[in-house]
């Protein structure tokens, strides 16, 4: 089975990229519905993917850093984190406390990632970033280097720049042509900002709408997630996605998703990802049915919350005094 994870066109120009590929991946082709709390799929094939929960609970960077903690040590440090989440110190974590914690981890990741990329691209260390600074520090290319590429690669490269400029203009709220740090955060993480919604939809339509008719067909929708190899039989999760398309994605039942329906899919309004994740974690761990989690209930489900030595425990369990 080949499940497609889009990384954008940056890989084509790996020798021409000066910075880490994170920027290009951040505005590549990953579906935003899976970017909210983690770049992991929440459901992997036919089963639930706990890596998504680790990222949401600990923060994406921290959940990938350490892999040498014993289960005993991880449980002890998880208990310390639970005490931080329990804001009212009643010995239980309710859905509101858990939701705020998940939001904190996501905001922390966005803030740290924005700061890291700001330091890299803002070469003159002033209070704003110019598009020229960003382009030059992201793509180590000159006109001479561009001319060395074949025609198709030149076209792809120019399309990347065009896409960057469109996203840049969307993030530039005061219209001065430059981005301050807050605006740059919207550029890097458009899925987190309502005013970037149209940009995200535009990028998604470009990626999936292969025949450029302004809609997304069932074949294009499935093709974005799954391409069979060597006559491979379609797995059950793909069949489920086909049903989802007909029942929930294509709301007017005309056989395709129009622009509005694509927007409802990738950036649904009135849907709180942190709240949904908090409810999910409580549902999976609440053994006594009181809609709250004790420290012991969380520790009993430590694989769900923080992983194992196989999947990495997460930096939050080591740098626990920072929370």
What are 88-104's pLDDT values in tens digits?
A: 999 999 999 999 998 98
Q: Helix 95-121 vs helix 131-138: angle between axes, to the nearest 10 degrees?
A: 90
Distance CA 102, CA 179 (A): 28
Mean pLDDT, the chain, as a whole number? 79
Give whichever of 48-57, 73-82, 189-198 has the largest mean pLDDT.
189-198
pLDDT confidence band for 230 (50 / 70 / 90): confident
Least confident residue range of 6-15, 177-186, 223-232: 6-15
More reliable by pLDDT, 30 or 248: 248
Average pLDDT over residues 253-267: 96
**CA 73 to chain CA centroid, nearest Å:** 29
At 75, the pLDDT band (50, 70, 90 cuts) reads: confident
Q: What is the mean pLDDT of residues 235-243?
A: 92
In this predicted structure, what is the pLDDT of residue 321? 43
Burial track 222-247 (b if 16+ CB lie within 10 A, e otherwise): bebbbeeeeeeeeeebbeebeeebee
Statement: residue 317 has pLDDT above 60? no
From 35-39, 117-121, 276-280, 309-313, the region with the lowest mean pLDDT: 309-313
pLDDT of residue 78: 86
Predicted pLDDT of residue 68: 54
Q: Which of the given ranges, 153-157, 181-185, 274-278, 312-316, has the highest pLDDT on average?
A: 181-185
Most confident of the following: 54-68, 210-224, 227-241 = 210-224
User: How high is the pLDDT of residue 65?
Assistant: 41
- Between 235 and 215, whose confidence is greater? 215
Range name among 106-110, 179-183, 252-256 with the lowest pLDDT average = 106-110
Question: What one-character-per-residue DSSP string does 18-32 give?
Answer: -S-THHHHHTSS--G
Phi-psi category of 91—alpha, beta or left, where left has phi over 0 and alpha has psi -120 to 50?
left
CA distance 23 to 133: 14
Q: Which residue in the block uniquely carries the two structure tokens 């001065």?
A: 176
Place of tokens 């006109």: 143
Percent of the chain past pLDDT 90, that is, above it, reads 50
**323 contacts: CB under 8 Å, gap ≥ 6:** 81, 84, 316
CA dist 247 and 1 (Å) reads: 25
The size of the chain, in residues, is: 323
Which of 20-34, 201-215, 275-289, 296-310: highest mean pLDDT? 201-215
Tell me the two tokens of residue 317. Answer: 């369990």
Higher-confidence position of 151 and 235: 235
**Dihedral in degrees, nearest 10, Cα atoms 39, 44, 50, 54:** 0
pLDDT digits (tens, 9 = 90+) for 155-207: 888 888 899 999 999 999 999 999 999 999 999 999 999 999 999 999 999 99
């Amino acid at each position: 089975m080949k499940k497609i994870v889009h990384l954008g066109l940056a890989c084509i120009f790996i020798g021409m990229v000066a910075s880490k590929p994170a920027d290009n991946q951040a505005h590549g082709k990953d579906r935003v519905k899976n970017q909210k709390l983690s770049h992991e799929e929440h459901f992997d094939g036919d089963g639930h993917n706990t890596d998504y929960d680790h990222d949401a609970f600990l923060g994406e960077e921290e959940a990938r850093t350490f892999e040498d903690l014993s289960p005993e040590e991880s449980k002890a440090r998880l208990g310390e984190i639970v005490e931080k989440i329990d804001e009212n110190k009643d010995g239980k974590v309710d859905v509101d406390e858990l939701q705020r914690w998940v939001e904190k981890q996501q905001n922390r990741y966005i803030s740290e990632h924005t700061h890291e990329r700001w330091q890299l691209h803002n070469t003159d260390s002033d209070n704003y970033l110019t598009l020229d600074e960003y382009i030059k520090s992201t793509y180590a290319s000159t006109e001479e280097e561009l001319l060395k590429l074949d025609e198709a690669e030149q076209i792809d490269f120019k399309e990347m720049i065009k896409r960057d400029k469109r996203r840049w203009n969307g993030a530039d709220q005061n219209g001065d042509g430059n981005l301050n740090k807050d605006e740059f955060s919207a550029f890097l993480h458009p899925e987190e900002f309502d005013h970037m919604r149209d940009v995200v939809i535009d990028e998604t339509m470009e990626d999936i709408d292969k025949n450029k008719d302004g809609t997304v067909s069932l074949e294009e929708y499935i093709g974005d997630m799954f391409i069979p190899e060597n006559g491979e039989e379609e797995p059950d999760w793909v069949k489920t996605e086909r049903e989802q398309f007909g029942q929930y994605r294509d709301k007017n039942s005309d056989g395709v998703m129009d622009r509005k329906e694509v927007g409802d899919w990738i950036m649904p309004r009135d849907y709180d990802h942190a709240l949904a994740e908090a409810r999910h974690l409580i549902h999976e761990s609440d053994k006594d049915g009181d809609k709250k989690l004790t420290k012991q209930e969380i520790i009993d489900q430590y694989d769900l919350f923080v992983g194992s030595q196989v999947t990495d425990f997460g930096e939050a369990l080591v740098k626990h005094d920072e929370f």
